[in-house]
Amino acid sequence: SDPQKVEGINRAAEAQIDAVIEAVRARRTGNMMRHRVPLFASCAYHAIGLPRMQQTSKFAVDADRCIGCGLCAKRCPMAAIEMRDGLPVWTKPECAACLRCLHCCPKFAISHGKRTASHGQYRHPKPGVRM
């Protein structure tokens, strides 16, 4: 992944987070979404897109890169991952689709679909902060 691209995305996200924090502190109400989505598009995503995203069959492990540390299984909020023979196995048909397993993997050995590698892996900007 392109580190500059990821850095730019993180900078933009931090600005949005700061704006939301300020709105909460000021007790402003209303729609705080940056991009408004038409209702039909939102409904279509929740009916079709989200269930597809939550299918654990989309996860894969590169056995050559995986070191069997088990962080993915330990940090999965849905307990959908078990370690078997030193590799993660998704044991539930669905999960929260948070991708925490992918982003906490120290070797970036987990993928979700074909485009994961091009998206890169999130690393918290403060050293030592765990996800």
Helix or strand or coil: residue 120?
A: coil
Average pLDDT value over all residues in the chain = 86
The CATH fold of domain 56-131: Alpha-Beta Plaits (3.30.70)
Instruction: Write the pLDDT tens digit of every residue in 71-121.
Output: 999 999 999 999 999 999 999 999 998 999 999 999 999 999 888 877 778
Q: Which two tokens stand for residue 83?
A: 């370690």
Query: CA nearest 115: which of 67, 60, 73, 75?
Result: 60
More confident residue, 25 or 122: 25
Map tokens 């307990």 to a residue: 79
pLDDT at 124: 72
More confident residue, 84 or 125: 84
Asked if pLDDT for residue 53 goes beyond 90, the answer is no
